[in-house]
Amino acid sequence: MHLTTDSFIYNPCDEEEDDMALACCHASNGDLFLLARFPDEDEVDITFRDDTIHVDSNLKVSLSATQLKVEIDAEDAKPFGGDTTYDIAHTTPASELAELDATLKIILKDVGTYVSEVA
């Protein structure tokens, strides 16, 4: 699935949401994509449009200056219509990439694989 967004909304520790770390965006077509994790959980919540899955393994996220790529297992992807890869083109300002990177590190810590080209 290919999506395009101007930028991400991210928060490494949302105090209003029980310290949940989140990174999300609205694609140019209006679709919502969200990665979130509560500090006491061993799984990542992934929301696409109106569906949410909980992933505790077989997850890979890669961030570059212009793309966020999320890869999930085929079994986990069933609620999303079977799409296992989400390529999100973005124009997040360079001044914000370090904070987005830090948030993604929190979300993916000990769950799946995180690859950053912006650190």
**Mean pLDDT for the chain?**
93
> What phi and psi values does residue 91 have, to the nearest 5 degrees?
-125, 40
DSSP string, 31-59: -EEEEEE-TT-SSEEEEETTEEEEESSSE
Q: What domain range includes position 108? A: 2-116
The count of domains in the chain is 1
Residue pLDDT, tens place only, 67-117: 999 999 999 999 999 999 999 999 999 999 999 999 999 999 999 899 999
Q: Which of 19, 16, 40, 32 is nearest to 109 (CA)?
A: 40
**114 strand-pairing partners:** 61
For tokens 């296992």, what's the residue?
84
Residue pLDDT, tens place only, 39-67: 999 999 999 999 999 999 889 999 999 99
pTM: 0.93
